[in-house]
């Protein structure tokens, strides 16, 4: 019989298992041990059971065995054999983390690290066999009778699956693997239904099995759960041999076929799927799912698919109309052609938006990590914190969401450690002992805004300033605005923490946060009021695939600036130009001086404008610095599809990507922070400009 290659379904298993772990974690965080919600316990149990069954199906027995011991304790709790304690909850949460790590090992093609799982398994077994609780340990003075020692756990099972069981997605060897998790299994295979070789259908099941399962206190409901997914299509008999007579049938689930199963010659069953032992060859033959983008998947609502299909239909209609015009075109039909092209443009734009919407996911996928993080860290820091999540259904691109997760965790950790006070400090300040941390997401224009708000102590600007002077980042004579002082927090290695902890205060994090956000073409802003609290605002594009850009001319080439980076465009007035440091042009823009970068010099474009008396200035902001770019001419605004220059060619300083324009020419997309670095112009903390001669000559 031909076998199905299950490796193609590995990624689906990983995704569903991670969703199950998220569900377990959320339920565990909701549980109140003094008033147990039985539905929460059942939800946790079902998630663990699904993970165990799926891992057994795919031969990931390490995960199946570990999940089985979790399921055992959960089953005792939900059947009221024992109460739920806070220690149980903590252990379940640790097991969720452990399973995530084990799944990550499998996804990356690494041998599963069982160190943590073995330690947790010992703790689970200790709880299950805890004195004063129902125990599976047999007293030493009990008689040496096998049935007594096994607590009546000797079961004979007849399993005759329906012939189409494989077509319904149920593999018989998954059943066998799950039985092996319960105890020792002796197996006989009945091949009496097997047809002649030329009549065998690879998608039909012809075999039947008899199992003798023995183990410690195996219960009827555990066996029922093993066959839960196949009971409607199979004939199943389960007999408890050690408690009733050999012929007593505990459960019979009749198949649609009335004939009894006939036993033919018995042959030895193939061994069940075994655990993937850590071997040097463990990576061979296993898909490295997390490293191969082609295996990544995303769940899409049917409404989005229907909308997409509808738009494709509209495009087909427009294409047919234009085709008819092309076959019999004359000047009298010009208005029809223009109308058709207008419709084509409209439908193409809608199709593009619908396709992009398919990649959109609610930010709740990222926010869901925060309750556990806040719970653990607040407990560790001895703080009382209430977490509020607002705008969880706000959607953004899957890629953006994946990359913003870690920076958001950094921000939350800093708010918990530095922002919110201890209960004693809050009480002394006249506040509630419980601090509030709010995560708020919403759409604004073509961007998504994520706010991290706390009602803590606020930011002490004087403390930051003194620390910056101490580290020689600024001079004592520098006059800094509040915003400029805030920006010092994002300098590499900067920290005001008096003591280094494993939560924060090591000077690592905020500069990385800022860099990661800028790599997403985003920005970060902050506001703070001493004694009231702080707000960090992350502004990101909804997608990384489409860009609203400003086209401009430099020499004979066309370049693009992201609209999100542009402050304004102005005609140069010679009276507003000044020269500082002997070589840096600055432009007076109302009440501030903005350094001018001549792009023709940066990119060495011989035909580009170098004279500030000519051309136009485009004022842009990048890396929280404002500069003016000297260009030849502005051509207009356009939405463009971003193509990676690095993957198609190589990384180029000052260029973030490229696109193909309507006339077929390639236009480079400028990276504003990179341009500022290439130019050699720096802005001091006080806002004055100077030039790095070494960088300028290198450019």
Q: Is residue 253 part of a domain?
A: no
> Which residue is associated with the tokens 């720096």?
682
DSSP class of residue 275?
A: P
> Which residue is associated with the tokens 């002997």?
582
Please provide the distance, in angstroms rounded to a whole number, between the alpha carbons at the two ends of the chain: 67
Token couple for 383: 């703080």
Of the candidates 128, 41, 127, the residue with the CA atom closest to the CA atom of residue 79? 41
Token couple for 45: 């149990």
Question: CB-based contacts of 232: which residues, under 8 Å, 6+ apart?
Answer: 253
Token couple for 43: 């939800």
Token couple for 106: 């499998």
User: Do residues 350 and 308 make contact, with C-beta atoms less than 8 angstroms apart?
Assistant: no
Residue 350 structural domain: 302-359
Residues 89 and 115 in one domain: yes
Q: Is residue 291 part of a domain?
A: no
pLDDT value of position 254: 38
Q: What is the CATH number of the domain that holds 33?
A: 1.20.120.160
pLDDT value of position 590: 81
Q: From 186, 210, 239, give the residue that closes a domain.
A: 239
CA dihedral 187, 191, 197, 203 (to 10 degrees): -70
Q: Is residue 558 part of a domain?
A: yes
CA 629 to chain centre: 37
Residues 468 and 616 in one domain: no
Question: CB-based contacts of 634: which residues, under 8 Å, 6+ apart?
Answer: 550, 551, 552, 553, 569, 616, 618
**For residues 550 and 309, what is the distance between their CA atoms, to the nearest angstrom?**
32
pLDDT value of position 688: 45
**For residues 84 and 327, what is the distance between their CA atoms, to the nearest angstrom?**
77
Residues 524 and 378 in one domain: yes
> Which residue is associated with the tokens 């655990």?
275
Of the candidates 417, 696, 648, 659, the residue with the CA atom closest to the CA atom of residue 562? 659
Active-site option among 25, 71, 178, 225: 71
> Which residue is associated with the tokens 């800093």?
414
pLDDT value of position 134: 43
* 49 tagged catalytic: yes
Q: What is the CATH number of the domain that holds 594?
A: 2.40.50.180
Q: Is residue 264 part of a domain?
A: no
Residues 306 and 418 in one domain: no
- State the pairing for strand pair 584-589/592-598: antiparallel
Q: Computed over its alpha carbons, how large is the radius of gyration of the chain?
A: 33
Active-site option among 414, 421, 451, 516: 414
Regions of the chain where pLDDT drops below 50: 1-3, 132-151, 243-294, 505-508, 684-699
Q: What is the CATH number of the domain that holds 514?
A: 3.30.565.10
Residues 386 and 444 in one domain: yes
Q: Is residue 553 part of a domain?
A: yes
Residues 321 and 445 in one domain: no
pLDDT tens track for 89-108: 999 999 999 999 999 999 88
Q: Is residue 134 part of a domain?
A: no
- Cα separations in angstroms, 554 against 75, 172, 501, 560, 619: 71, 68, 51, 10, 16
Q: From 239, 267, 287, give the residue that closes a domain.
A: 239
Residues 90 and 195 in one domain: no
**For residues 44 and 60, what is the distance between their CA atoms, to the nearest angstrom?**
20
Residues 231 and 316 in one domain: no
Token couple for 152: 């009546």
Residues 394 and 523 in one domain: yes
pLDDT value of position 509: 64
Number of neighbouring beta carbons within 10 Å of residue 196: 6
User: What 3-state DSSP class applies to 91?
Assistant: helix
Q: Is residue 141 part of a domain?
A: no
Residues 376 and 350 in one domain: no
For residue 185, which phi and psi values (nearest 5 degrees)?
-130, 125
Residues 525 and 403 in one domain: yes
Count how many domains the chain has: 5
Burial classification of residue 687, based on how many CB atoms lie within 10 Å of its CB (0-12 exposed, 13-18 middle, 19 or more buried): middle
Residues 597 and 677 in one domain: yes
User: Do residues 537 and 525 make contact, with C-beta atoms less than 8 angstroms apart?
Assistant: yes
Q: From 187, 209, 239, give the residue that closes a domain.
A: 239
pLDDT value of position 354: 76
DSSP class of residue 591?
A: T
Q: Is residue 295 part of a domain?
A: no
pLDDT tens track for 506-565: 344 688 888 888 778 788 888 999 999 999 999 888 777 777 889 999 988 999 998 878
pLDDT value of position 629: 92
């Amino acid at each position: 019989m031909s076998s199905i290659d299950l490796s193609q379904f590995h990624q689906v298993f990983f995704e569903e298992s991670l969703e199950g772990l998220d569900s377990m974690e959320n339920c565990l965080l909701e549980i109140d041990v003094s008033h147990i919600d039985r539905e929460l316990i059942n939800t946790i149990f079902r998630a663990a059971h699904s993970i165990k069954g799926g891992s057994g199906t795919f031969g990931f027995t390490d995960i199946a065995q570990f999940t089985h011991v979790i399921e055992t304790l959960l089953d005792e709790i939900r059947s009221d054999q024992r109460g739920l304690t806070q220690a149980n909850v903590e252990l379940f949460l640790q097991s969720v983390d452990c399973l995530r790590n084990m799944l990550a090992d499998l996804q990356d093609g690494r041998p599963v690290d069982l160190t943590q799982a073995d330690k947790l398994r010992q703790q689970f077994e200790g709880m299950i066999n805890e004195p004063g609780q129902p125990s599976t340990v047999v007293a030493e003075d009990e008689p040496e009778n096998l049935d007594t020692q096994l607590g009546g756990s000797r079961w004979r099972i007849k399993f005759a699956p329906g012939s189409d069981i494989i077509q319904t997605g149920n593999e018989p060897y998954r059943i066998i693997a799950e039985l092996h998790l319960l105890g020792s299994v002796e197996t006989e295979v009945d091949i009496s239904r097997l047809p002649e070789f030329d009549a065998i259908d690879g998608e039909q099941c012809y075999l039947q099995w008899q199992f003798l399962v023995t183990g410690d206190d195996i219960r009827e409901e555990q066996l029922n759960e093993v066959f839960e997914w196949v009971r409607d299509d199979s004939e199943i008999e389960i007999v408890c041999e050690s408690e009733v007579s050999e012929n007593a049938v505990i459960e019979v689930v009749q198949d649609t076929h009335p004939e009894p199963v006939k036993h033919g010659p018995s042959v030895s069953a193939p061994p069940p799927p075994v655990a993937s032992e850590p071997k040097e060859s463990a990576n061979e033959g296993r898909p490295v799912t997390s490293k191969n983008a082609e295996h990544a998947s995303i769940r899409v609502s049917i409404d989005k698919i229907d909308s997409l299909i509808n738009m494709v239909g509209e495009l087909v209609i427009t294409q047919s109309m234009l085709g008819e015009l092309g076959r019999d075109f004359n000047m009298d039909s010009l208005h029809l052609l223009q109308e058709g092209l207008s419709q084509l443009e409209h439908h193409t734009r809608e199709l593009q938006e619908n396709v992009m919407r398919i990649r959109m996911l609610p930010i709740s996928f990222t926010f869901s990590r925060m309750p556990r993080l806040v719970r653990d860290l607040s407990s560790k820091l001895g703080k009382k914190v209430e977490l509020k999540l607002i705008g969880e259904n706000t959607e953004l691109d899957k890629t953006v969401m994946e990359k913003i997760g870690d920076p958001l965790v950094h921000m939350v950790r800093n708010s918990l450690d530095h922002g919110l006070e201890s209960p004693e400090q809050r009480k002394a300040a006249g506040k509630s002992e419980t601090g509030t941390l709010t995560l708020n997401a919403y759409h604004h224009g073509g961007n998504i805004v994520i706010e991290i708000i706390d009602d803590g102590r606020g930011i002490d600007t004087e403390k930051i300033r003194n620390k910056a002077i101490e580290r020689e980042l600024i001079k004592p004579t520098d006059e800094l605005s509040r915003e400029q002082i805030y920006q010092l927090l994002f300098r590499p290695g900067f920290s005001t923490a008096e003591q280094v902890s494993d939560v924060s205060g090591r000077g690592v994090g905020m500069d990385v946060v800022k860099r990661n956000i800028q790599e997403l073409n985003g920005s970060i802003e902050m506001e703070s009021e001493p004694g009231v609290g702080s707000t960090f605002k992350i502004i990101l594009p909804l997608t990384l695939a489409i860009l609203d850009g400003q086209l401009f001319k430099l020499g004979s080439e066309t370049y693009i600036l992201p609209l999100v980076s542009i402050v304004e465009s102005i005609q140069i007035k010679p009276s507003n130009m000044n020269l500082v440091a002997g070589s840096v042009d600055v432009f007076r823009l109302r009440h501030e001086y903005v350094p001018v970068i001549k792009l023709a010099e940066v990119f060495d474009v011989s035909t580009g404008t170098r004279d500030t008396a000519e051309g136009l200035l485009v004022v842009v902001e990048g890396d929280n610095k404002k500069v003016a770019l000297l260009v030849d001419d502005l051509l207009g605004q356009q939405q463009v599809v971003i193509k990676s220059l690095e993957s198609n060619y190589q990384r180029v300083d000052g260029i973030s990507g490229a696109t193909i324009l309507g006339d077929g020419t390639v236009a480079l997309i400028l990276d504003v922070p990179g341009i500022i670095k290439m130019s050699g112009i720096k802005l001091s903390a006080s806002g004055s400009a100077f030039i790095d001669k070494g960088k300028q000559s290198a450019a």
